[in-house]
Structure formats: C-alpha cells, structure tokens
Structure 1
Amino acid sequence: MTTSSIEDILPLAPLQAGMMFHTWHQSAGPEVQTAQLILDLHGPLDVDALRAAAGGLLRRYPNLRAGFRERRAGAPVQVIASRPDLSWTEVAAEPGEDPDAALARHTEADQGRRFDLRRAPLIVFRLIRVDGHRHRLVVTYHHILLDGWSTSLLIRDLCALYEHGGDGSALPPPVPYRDFLGWLAAQDRPRAEDAWRAALADLDGPTLVAPADPTRAPVWPGSLPGELGPQDTAELVAFARRHDLTVNTLVQAAWALLVGQLTGRTDVTFGAAVSGRPPELAGAESMVGLLMNVVPVRVRLRRDEPLSALLDRVQHEQAHLIEHHHLGLADIQKVAGTGELFDTCVAFENFPESGELRCGPLRVEAGAADAAHYPLSLNAAAGSRLRLRLSYRPDLFPVGFVRGLLRRFTRLLTELPAAMGTRTGRLDLLGVEERHRLSTQGRNPAPVPVATLPALVEAWAARTPDAVAVRCGARRLTYGELNARANRLAHALVDRGIGPERLVALALPRGIELVTSILAVTKAGAGYLPVDPEYPRARVEQMLADADPACVVFAGSDAAPVARAAAAAAGLPRLDLHDPAVVAELAGRPDRDPTDRDRRTPLLPTHPAYVIFTSGSTGRPKGVDV
C-alpha cells in the first residue's frame, strides 16, 4: 500500500487486538471470526443501486476500509485505505434448482472465509438471484470490523443509500469510529486495573468446562436454539422490574449456577460480551465498528445464600465494574495473575429494534450467521420472546448433552421468580426426566441391538423424515433428504465396484457434503478414509499409499488441490461431486435404500466403518481400522 492510498492510521480497540492475535496464530481449521449478515430481498431489485449502496457504505465508514498490520516496534495499527476496491459478486440459482438449496449453497460459499487481515477491505458482498423478485445479499466480514450492534445500523444505512443511488450526502454525517478510539485512549487505565485486580482477588484458578489445550484447532461450532415464550418472558421481565434487577443479571446468575454445577466450582468465572458503548461518549449508540468487549464475570456461589441475595450481589458487583469494561481481556488476565480465566461466554443482546425493514419498494428479512470459539457460548436476545442460542464445540460435547444443558438453563430462568427465598444450594437444576434417568441408570440395562450405521439412519429417516438431520450454516437437510441423497451416491459407488472391505477417501471440508458422503460410503458397505484438504502433500500421499482407497471423492474442480494431485499421481479413481456429469448421474440414480442384493457382498456390523490415521510411536502416522 502506497502512502497516497492511505487515508488514516488508527490504534486498535482491545478486542480487535485479541482477534488479530488469534487470526494470525490459528491457520488451521475454519475461521470462526468470520461472520455474515444475510438480507433476503423481496420485490423488484435495482442491482446497480444496491451495488452503489454497498460502495457507499465503504465511503461512509472509513473503518470498514481497515487493514491490520504489525509494526516493528510498538502496538499494531489499522491502516485505513482511501480507495479500496469493492468486493462484489453476483450469482444465480441454476435452472430448475430448488431456490432454498441455491440460496444455502451460495451463502455457504463465503462462510468461514479466511481474510488476509493486511488487505482491505475485510468485507465482501455476494448477491444471489433466485428470480426477478427474490434476491439475497450476503455480507461476509471479519468480526474485527463490526459488532452485532453495528449490523442493524449498517442495514439502516444500506437501505437509505439504496434509495439515494449510493449518494451518502443525503444522510446525516456518521459519528466517526476514531472518536471511540480517542475515548479509549483517554481512560484512566491504572484505575481500571485496580478495579479488576480487586474484583478477581483470591481467585484460585480458571473455570473450565473442557480440558485446557492451547494447541486445539478451531472447529465450526454446533448451535441449538431455545426460547422463553411470550408469557414466560413477560413474567421474567416483570419479576426483574419488581426487584430492581436487569434481565441480563438473571441470565448471568442462571449461567453461573449451571456452570458451577458442571465444574463443581463455587467460585465461578465466565466471559460476558459487553456493548462497550459508554453513555458519556456522544453518539456511541450510532457508531459502526467493533466497540464491544469481552470481560470476566465472577460469581461466588454460597450454598446457604438465598437466591434473592445472590441476584442482588451479582447485579451490584457487575454495576461497580461497568465503567471499567473498556480494559482488554488480556490486560485483565495480566492484573489478575491467573492467565486464562474461563472457557464459556454469555452475550446478552439488546440491540436497537429495526421494526419492519424496507429498502424502497423492497421488503427485507435480516438474519446472521456467526460462530464462537469458546467450548460453550450462550446468546440471549431480548424481545417479546427471550431467544436463546447455545453454541458448542461438537468435538468436545455431544449434541444430546448440550440439549440437556439448554433445557436446564431455560427451566431455571422460568423458575427464578418462584425461587427467590430458596437457598442456592437447594436449587434443583435437573428436570424430572433427568433425575429419573440418573436414579435408574445401570439397573437392568436394556440390551443394545446390533445394527449398522446405514440401518440406524434409514430407520430414523422412516420414522421422522421431516426432522432436521444436518445443519451447516444456513443449509439444512432433513433425515429424508439426507437419506435420499446418500442413497443416490451409494448406488453410484456400488456400480463402481465399491463395497465391504474397500475404502473410499473423502477429501472434503466439514459440511453437508461430507456427512452425506460418509453415509453413502457406509451404505455401499465400504469404509471411509477422512483426508483433511489442508494436509500437506507428503502426508496425503502416505495416507493414500497405505490405505489404497478404491476411489477419492472431491467437491469442486478447485477444491482440495493437494489431495487431488496426490490421487492423480497415485492413479486412483476420482469422483468430483460438483462435476456436471456426476451431478447428472446422481440425479438419475434411485433414492431407495441399497440392500445386500445391490452390494457386492452382504454388509455386516463387523466390516470396517472407517480408517483413521494416528501419530505412530515412530513418528510416522499409522492407519487404524474402526
């Protein structure tokens, strides 16, 4: 970047510095700090005006044009480009393609995108056309640019710019993000450090729901929704008002009780996402940028303390720290002297209400897709219903366990008003079913039937065909759809001579196609060999040579180039799921369940399901049949 192309150089907010560190030091796995704003547009769309409006956003907000750089000496900075290119892509559903499937496919294209933080802009726009009156605009950005509060402001301005053809002169001038950075620099840092040092004094260690592992690579999280209905929400809000409490306090106290039960700790810490918009900073509520921060919440649980006293204490202790929410988490951990403090986080969202969204004649439906890097993260969104979302790492927690946690949390919130006089040590966090299962566990266990994975999935698809089986970002597959897709691919594999005692290598990223392919391979009777598309070529070549798969599966001509080249060099058959010829072939395959009449030999539970390569004692990975 030349000097003439630089408009400004700014310091980083605390959370920006943390995100920059994590992005640059975690190159493996998906980028969980990439987020998406999804706008479904209904009505006649002026594409040129929408593109001009997107460009107008970059002109209006200089911090959307930031690239992030380290310096040889001193703190890193964000460099504001004066004239960055607008990253704009237009795509359309294929003729005859299911509209929802097309929208999901194109939305996922940028999900988890890895941005080069040095190169602005770290925001891209993808317009998906379904027909003349239905479009979707997907705005994908690195979280280092924006927080959730800002997205509603961004939508408002995008619509206003659309109505004015991208001309920002008709809009009121924005409040500069640099005002917030200047306010940060003027804060009394020693005083904030003293406040956090006192708040975390005598803490005997972190509160962790998962074993600490600094080498653990990020994975795309699972997510479960929940909510309190309108009546329960209204009763909770009224209860909070009667006792001069905030709903955020109720959420934090309930989470502390749940995490305390999970970890066995009575001195609980967890993270809280705070808005970072100080009331004394003029215009803070209308600023676009990353103002939020993550700070620790410490809750000491005393078994003989009434719930009413716990709630009052939590609110009082957190209110005392609000003016110090600007201090970065790394700095807080440093003054606490404990290092890592927590691995769960709570975000209570109370963003500005957008009401019915319109862009001129267009009706707009807004949504979002993002991820969290903590093992467990809870989002609670205020409104007529208290909407909940519990995100989790699926490599650490099975979905059934997380579903149980969400049920416990929801039940605890609804029961708080009736439990004010109950001592916290006597609060029952388990439901009737959970308590019954625990009390009867191990007594006369029922025999577990012997069955293959395909048979189990097929039985479930027959019972609940419309239940969601796989969810990846905005895409969903029901059990019926998953089973049918896997059946078509399984028949194609069987006709290629693939069956029991053979292996199929899957060089696919995590997602719906990987799940479908795993099921298809096992339906054909074969075992699957997972090949990470990011593995170095030497490792892929060794895996393919040792496993000798009958076929290597890809998805796209540009996907997994290392694995594709290694398979070609080994002379292995290759199957590209995105090849038009393969797509046409699969469309003509039957969607019925394959049987032993179709397979080369009967499928037995004892046949290998997959091969996994582990690090051997000699340092050379070894394949293990499972």
Structure 2
Amino acid sequence: LHVGHATHARLAGLARAHGASLFMVVQAALAALLTREGAGTDIPIGTPVAGRTDESLDDLVGCFVNTLVLRTDTGGDPSFTDLLDRVRRTGLAAYSHQDVPFEHLVDVLNPARSAARHPLFQVLLSLHHAADLPVELPGLRVRAEETRSRSAKFDLLFRLAERNTPDGGPGGLEGGVEYSTDLFDRSTAEGLVTRFERLLDAVAADPGRRIWRLDILPPAERERVLTGWNATERPLPPATLPELFEAQVARTPDAVAVAGEGVTLSYAELDAWAAKLVRALTGRGAGPERVVAVVLPRSVELVVALLAVLKSGAAYLPVDPALPAERVRILLDEARPVCVLDDVDGVRNPRPEAASAARTVPLSPSHPAYVLYTSGSTGTPKGVVVPH
C-alpha cells in the first residue's frame, strides 16, 4: 500500500485544519471504504495504543500495548469533512478510556463468542512514524529484527508507516494489508488496496465531497462494473407466450406444471384444460386486441384461466376479488373486457357456445398480453398495456 508525498501532505493539512490527527483522517477513509464495500454504516475498527499515558512508564522497559476499539458512524452519506469531525469526537472519547484493558472490555460487554472472528472488531488499523529511533544500551549493539507471522489475527489488518523527507516534510505513507485467506484471496485484497489508495487521493483532492461520491474504482474496474457486467442484452425470440408454453409442452409433457390445493397438473394436462376454456372464450369474442377480466382467487383455476386467455389471443386483466366494488367497476368500465371470468366452477367445466371457434387472427409479439392498473392513490387508476 503506497500513498504519494503530495497526497500525504494534503491529508496532513486536512487533519490540521480540522484539529485532528493524520491517523483520524486515515481511519475515516478506511471506514468510508468499508461502508462502500458493503460493511454497513456502523464500523468498529481496532487499533493498538502504546499504553504509556503515565509519565512514570517513560523509562520502563516492557510492553504495555493495549487495543482500542474505535466505532465509526458513516450513516447518512456525510461529506468526508463531516465524517472526519465524527471520527475526531468519538476518537477523543475512546482515547480517554485507553487504559481500560481490552480483555476487561470483552468480559464486560460479553459479546457472542466465535472462534472464527475477533470478538469486537474484524478490521485493525495501525499508523506509525517510520523514522528509526536510536536504542542505546551500555555494552550492547542493538538492531531491530522484523518478524513475520504466517497466520492472520484479524479479517483485515491495514498497517501504514508515515515517511518524512530529509527536510522533515511529508514523504508518503507506505505499508500493506494482511488478510485472512479463509475469507479473501490475493486479488480481492489487492483490489481493496487499490480502492483505498484511490479513496485517499480523492479525499485529499476534494474533502468536501460526500463519501458515496468519492471515486474509488480504477478505469478498468469501472468499465467492468458499469459496462462489462451490464452487457446482458440478448435478442428477443420472435414468439408469443402461448407459443413458448406450447414448446415447453412438447419438450416435457409429463413434467409438473402447476401444483396447489391438492391438485397437480402436468404441462400436457394444463394445456388440454386451458384449450377447453379457450373455445368458450373465443365464442364470447376473445381475441387479439381484446381484454378478458379474470376475477378469481389464487388457485390452480386462476393459472388455467390466465393461460386460456393468452391462448385465445386476448389480454388478461387480473382483478383481485377482495377489491372494493367501486374499484372493480372503474377497472371494468375503463378496460371494457369482452367477458369476465369470475366463476371457479365455470373454469373447471367451461361450456363452449355453438358459435365458438379457434382464433383466426394471427397473434404477434406486439399484441397485448395483459393489462395492469395503477393504485389510483393520486387520481383515477391508469391502465398499462404490456405486450408479449
């Protein structure tokens, strides 16, 4: 992870302008990134603290390091400067209690424990000054030895060091991200690093921008998300819904098509039942550019009725039987259906009229398939005609 000296200088200036530390700026940026990545708006981030608030510990050899939990609220899509002010307030309050041992905090809060994760946070952030601090002990030669762990202690660990130029100016931030391989692969972690670097650059350039407007995607990833993943257009088959259904009947005549209320129909049975009803509907004028209202409860008969209307070439108008009578009257007056299917027994045992005949007008994909009406909450309900 690398942040250039120019961005480092602007971030340090932003921290000074808001009475915050550079760490708070980086913490706010990390919280914004995690929110953008889908972690929600209540972001707890852990950080190590030296644990040497008492001056009497200054010259004492030993490890007093404690872990602090910094909780960040990113809700409401704040500007980054507003988020930084939130981080500053909650951070100062947290630092005032940094002497409370982390183990004691866990005991008091008693969260649900799991061997799969840290109890109070899953992401840790550290930022330290990278200047070599001389260590002198009488009669000893002293040098620092770096150690490497082969296991991750957290889901994600962001470790940064602040570099300075020879004249003491900002020289950039450098570090890396340690990740749990149970949760992330290397490419995912590298993507997080890239987006974090870009977010810090965006914050430095325009800290007044809202966090959801900060640019974090590199050009190739932006192209993939906005264009590549959305290239889902396909040519529509020049077929109507009855034709598609009949093709399925031919492929799997014995497969279950509808099940409900103790009744199970195969595709062949559903097709045959609907065909009987089609003859009754066409005898009453059903056909292309006509509407048939269907006022039936949720049932197998409702499915048969809708399919029969489509096979007749007409468009169905679904009407909930529980609607007020005045609402139903408005729908029927507006749609002017050639007939209304409101009798379950009539669907079960249709009576074709003597003049009934099969549809003679060809049905095309542009013909209406069904009509839906708006709620009418702001005026008279409006019908929307949907073609095949």
After TM superposition, the score normalised by the length of structure 1 is: 0.32
> TM-score by structure 2 length?
0.50
